[in-house]
Amino acid sequence: MTPVSHRARRVLATAVLAAVAALPAARAAEPPADDPAVQPSELLPLSTQTLLLDAVRTSAGVFAVGERGIALRRGDSGQWAQLPTPTRVTLTAVAAADGELWVAGHDGVILRSSDNGDSWTRQRVDVWSPQSTEPSQGAPILDLLFIGAEKGYAVGAFSTLLRTNDGGRTWVRLSLKGETPAAEAGVVPEPDAEPDAGDTAASFDDGAVLGAEDLELADETDPHLNAIARDPAGTLYIAGERGAMFRSRDDGSTWQRLSFPYEGSMFGIVTWDAGHVMAFGLRGNVFESTDGGDTWSRLDTGAEVTLMGGSALPGGGVVIVGNEGVILERKDGASPLERREHQNARGETPVLSGAIPDADGTLILIGDKGVDRDGHG
């Protein structure tokens, strides 16, 4: 059984990834041809009304991804169209840089498109096996970050942390805890993939902030990593479950565990200028830092529902969305968060997983009811 995505589960209002027990045995290097991870997606007539988990804007339009390998594109016409993908697993993340597009999801799947989603190359798949002894095998990728067409990062369940220096053709597993992992075993790259000599294992920096012994997550020694972001100074931030928050100032080679004032899970991060970062997650909690995560301030949201997606606006503004149709928005960094509730045309208050400002001042929304629009500017 494939582990369930933390992001997908929280969009369905549970907010916690189901733990997968590690069972003894060896992992298969390549999934069978009939495995959903490598089966092409089906074109569905109601694809715009299905569960969608992440979205991104590019020069070619807005892209959204979700369950059953669904990828959608909204072009200049304003109409959404489903794009065929080489997988039927739930897609949880989408990222874009320099005209390239990546999507990722369950079974460790990562796909790349160089033609705005018309065709895809499978760059990674790591299907879970009943004989596996590794909890991270088959772990869903929960977020993607690309810095140009070559360097990128992927984070996911069971502390999955990957880096690529060649646009995703090869991925190297990094660690938050000082281990020295070998090249990924059992992961199926493109046939011409070669080891990336520029990547080395990351280590955990236990000096400036907290050490590995301070990773107080009860029995969770490998917390799920839910989101990754980068500020203009190049600092990387990772938010995870049970208050796990990490920072790297050397492209991910070493990481510091930050002292975070909340023990619940954070599901999203946005950044503005250097050191200005915001994290949001369970029970309506939003925390902001202007010193790179050294100190945090809790913002009043007036909400107690799980917050799952958001976008930074100019000048420190932000829009954050979550369960029960909740939308939190502020125009700039000096303004308070204002709350409102979104209802769709059927009078439902959907579970919202993402919001992207549109050119006309409205918001493009995605969630468990598919694509939608909020008319407030």
Percent of the chain with pLDDT over 70: 80
Q: What is the mean pLDDT of residues 323-334?
A: 97
Over residues 198-227, mean pLDDT:
51
Strands 297-298 and 286-289: antiparallel
**Per-residue pLDDT tens digits for 331-367:** 999 999 999 999 999 999 999 999 999 988 899 999 9
Higher pLDDT: 217 or 73? It is: 73
Going by pLDDT thresholds of 50, 70 and 90, the confidence category of residue 29 is low
- pTM given for the model: 0.84
What's the CA gap between 91 and 108, in Å, rounded? Answer: 10
- The CATH classification of domain 6-374, taken from the options 2.130.10.10, 3.40.50.720, 3.40.630.30, 3.30.365.10: 2.130.10.10
pLDDT tens digits, 84-115:
999 999 999 999 999 999 999 999 999 999 99
Residue 192: burial class (beta carbons within 10 Å; 0-12, 13-18, 19+):
exposed
Q: Where are the domains of the chain?
A: 6-374
**Main-chain dihedrals φ then ψ at residue 334, nearest 5 degrees:** -95, -5
Whether the predicted pLDDT of 1 surpasses 50: no
Of the two residues 100 and 219, the one the predictor is more confident about is 100
The CA distance from 206 to 100, in Å, is 36
The pLDDT of 303-328, averaged and rounded, is 97
